[in-house]
Structure 1
């Protein structure tokens, strides 16, 4: 651990660390936006997921999974399912055919992990769980907002050409 003889030096180090964390967060947001092709994914979701990535980069794994859960809540709200508990919203998305059973299962796993992060259990959230939560959330957003749109364009083009998709 570092030690400094004066509070002034500690203040300078704190400022440098704060700057580094801010730069890492900015980089994480830019990288995430590129990865998810920001033209398709709602900005609110990109912001929430980027905040989760920032927590992960800061090794705050409990905060990471809570932010991933928050991303799920934002996803449900944007899809029009925001007036009920997250569990019910995810079920409704699946029942209405707006979320495949596989992605619904993933989302429920992320919801449970987020609950474990939000409520004291005495057990720390593991790095591997936080990493997996980020990847699963990213995959969910990419599937819903990027891949589905790509398929729709493909299907429309095929239809216009007199072919079936």
Structure 2
């Protein structure tokens, strides 16, 4: 793709309203003083704008690069990630799951699915489940944590997804793409919330009761 590049003047200022990929707050990103946007035109006539912005949250103030198309398509760097509350989650599990989220943001979906499966391995290890394989360890996990039946079933679906991502001969999932991995990450968030965060949330609510 060949481009013609022109500096944009103030009349071509591009509004970039999105979620900050660093702090997670939504808003209109702030243009950096004296740094103009660039207008890019392909030989096919498609128009894009690229430039730099700051997060409007003064506690964050992240420096963000963007490309925005005339069809309102938006690409950010750092990449926008799925929101994840890491409170009370053990550091090894948090680090592994954060890597799954980063891989997803970078569109490395097979790698993300593998790291979701690794997150389950870390969870089972944290709860001292010692079965000979992940299937057995997940079954053993049922006696260690309290989860809805649906989430225990989901643990095995996540295990299979991770297996398919790692082994080319597996055929349970026809595709390891954005939709499959997005759902896997959302389910994993709910599992981690139930195991590590729910008790804390309930205790916080109880602490607000009148004595």
Q: Same fold (TM over 0.5)?
A: yes
After TM superposition, the structure 1 = structure 2 runs for residues 16-165 of structure 1, keeping only pairs within 5 Å, are 24=78, 32=84, 35-37=85-87, 40-94=88-142, 96=143, 98-100=145-147, 101-121=149-169, 123-151=174-202
Q: State how far apart, in whole Å, the 2-side matches of 1:108 and 1:82 are.
A: 16
Unpaired runs of 5+ residues, structure 2, are 3-64, 66-76
- The answer on whether the counterparts of 2:124 and 2:138 sit within 8 Å (CA) in structure 1 is yes
Superposition misfits of 4+ residues, deviation over 2 angstroms: 99-102, 121-124, 148-158
The structure whose Rg is larger is: 2
Q: State how far apart, in whole Å, the 2-side matches of 1:92 and 1:118 are.
A: 23
Larger RCO, structure (CA 8 Å, separation 6 or more):
1
Unpaired runs of 5+ residues, structure 1, are 3-19
Q: State how far apart, in whole Å, the 2-side matches of 1:103 and 1:137 are.
A: 9
1:80-105, Cα deviation, whole Å (9 max, x unpaired): 114531110111111x1514222211
The structure with more strand, counted as a fraction of residues: 2
- The answer on whether the counterparts of 1:93 and 1:99 sit within 8 Å (CA) in structure 2 is no
Aligned residue pairs, count = 134
Query: TM-score under structure 1 normalisation?
Result: 0.68
